[in-house]
Amino acid sequence: MDIIQNTMKISFSIPNILSETLSHKKFVLFDIETTGLSSNYSKVILIGILYIENENIVIKQFFCNNSNEELELLKAFIDSFQNFDLYITFNGGNFDVPFLNKRFSKYNLNYRIDPYLNFDLYKVVRKSKNILGLNDCKLKTIEKYLGITREDTIDGGESVKLFNKYEQTGDEGLKRKILLHNYEDILHLLPTLDILSFIDYNKAFAYMPKEFLLDNNLKMRIVDYKVSKDFLLASGTISGSLKQDFISYNHGYDFSFLKDTNEFTLKIPLLNVSIGNGQSYSFINLNELHYTKSTLSEMSNKERSKYLVKVDNEIKDYNIYNFIKEFSLLILKEIYISLSL
């Protein structure tokens, strides 16, 4: 099994939509090559990762010279990968992450990639394919859209065939082609993130991992949320130092936390407004929450827009995330006060 590492000084920029999510996080881009599509019977023969270190781009590839080296490859990959806390992939949610987790399980390796921490660019692009005018959602199609060129000419299916030949012949030329395909997939995934600049902010943000620190002891993860008639309903987990159940129904909102599962639920009142052209708006109902000193009617349009969670059928994911994040600090304060009594 070979580990090939390349370090380069290449200027790059992170799209605004990603900058907040990636702030203070160690993130990594990765892509796998396998001997087939079934994680039950096929093996991982190559994994490429890309990360930033000392303002340099580092690409590391883990390559099996024969498929019997899969376990060695997986162990080496885990050793490097477990140091990161956010992952960026292209179709990794459907393929790479579940495939790897299945192979880890097969070998009884005590490791699992958390799907929640994976930002899958493919899912975002697929949602906006027609708006972007793309014929399909292949990585090479998006690269062409952005003017990105590559030396690699093969696809994943051809990579499988080439590896089968390489395993039989040991032809170094075949090995270089396989490595180049994987190398350029992850190298070009970084600038391909610029496609997010052409996509509606909320449509992209909907697929971001929504995890943050409430304080030094608690990590909150928003797993699900929806606007349902007169309420915003959110749920997720809080991990850390809370050691007992907590339920509050007293201040215009409902909140519960169960220590056995680390799960929380939050129910926030909404104010629904319809205007003359038939358009409907849903705002966080600040009048019931007593969250701010000003009511919505007293705010400027810019201030009021922060509490807008839905326009007709369009969910404002970014506003919902930011409100829950800020409001959770007040809930946490209430919990601490209650537990200290």
Instruction: Determine the pLDDT at residue 196.
Output: 94
Mention every residue, 6+ apart, whose C-beta is less than 8 A from residue 92. 30, 31, 118, 120, 122
- The reported pLDDT for the residue numbered 136 is 94
Q: What is the total residue count of the chain? A: 341
E strand spans, 175-316:
211-213, 218-228, 231-240, 246-248, 254-258, 263-274, 280-284, 308-311, 314-315
Q: pLDDT confidence of 107, banded at 50, 70, 90? A: very high
Q: What is the mean pLDDT of residues 153-182?
A: 91
Q: What is the C-alpha separation between 241 and 259, in angstroms, rounded?
A: 10
Q: Band of the pLDDT at 341, cuts 50, 70, 90? A: very low
> The domain 2-205: what is its CATH number?
3.30.420.10
Q: Average pLDDT in the 117-134 region?
A: 94
Q: Which helix (H) or strand (E) holds 44?
A: strand 44-53
Which H, E and C letters describe 54-89, residue by residue? Answer: CCEEEEEEEECCCHHHHHHHHHHHHHHHCCCCEEEE
How many Å from the N-terminal Cα to the C-terminal Cα in the chain?
59
What's the average model confidence in pLDDT over 199-219?
A: 87
What does the block give as tokens for 237? 């987990």
Going by pLDDT thresholds of 50, 70 and 90, the confidence category of residue 141 is very high
Q: What per-residue confidence (pLDDT) applies to 339?
A: 64
Residue for token digits 């459907």? Answer: 94
SS3 45: strand
Is the predicted pLDDT of residue 276 greater than 80, yes or no? no
pLDDT in tens, 294-340: 888 888 889 999 999 999 989 999 999 999 999 998 888 888 777 66
Q: Residue 93 gets which letter from DSSP?
A: I
Write out pLDDT tens, residues 90-102. 999 999 999 999 9
- Residue 157 has a pLDDT of 83
Other Cβ atoms less than 10 A from the Cβ of 316: the count is 24
- Percentage of the chain surpassing pLDDT 90? 70
At 15 the pLDDT is 86
Alpha-carbon distance 146 to 185, whole Å? Answer: 15
38-71 tens-digit pLDDT: 999 999 999 999 999 888 999 999 999 999 999 9
Q: Bridge-partner residues for 3, per DSSP?
A: 62
Tell me the pairing of strands 246-248 and 254-258. antiparallel
Neighbour-count burial for 107-117, b at 16+ CB within 10 Å, e otherwise: eeeebebeeeb
Residues above pLDDT 70, as percent of the chain = 98
Is the Cβ–Cβ distance between 35 and 107 less than 8 Å? no
Sequence spans of domains, the chain:
2-205, 211-340
Residue closest to 32 by CA, chosen among 87, 109, 106: 87
Distance CA 232, CA 288 (A): 13
Mean pLDDT of the chain: 91
From residue 266, alpha-carbon distances to 139, 191, 208, 237, 341 in Å are 38, 37, 20, 11, 23
Q: Residue 239 has which token pair?
A: 């991990």
pTM to 2 decimal places: 0.91
pLDDT at 227 over 50: yes
pLDDT at 264 over 60: yes
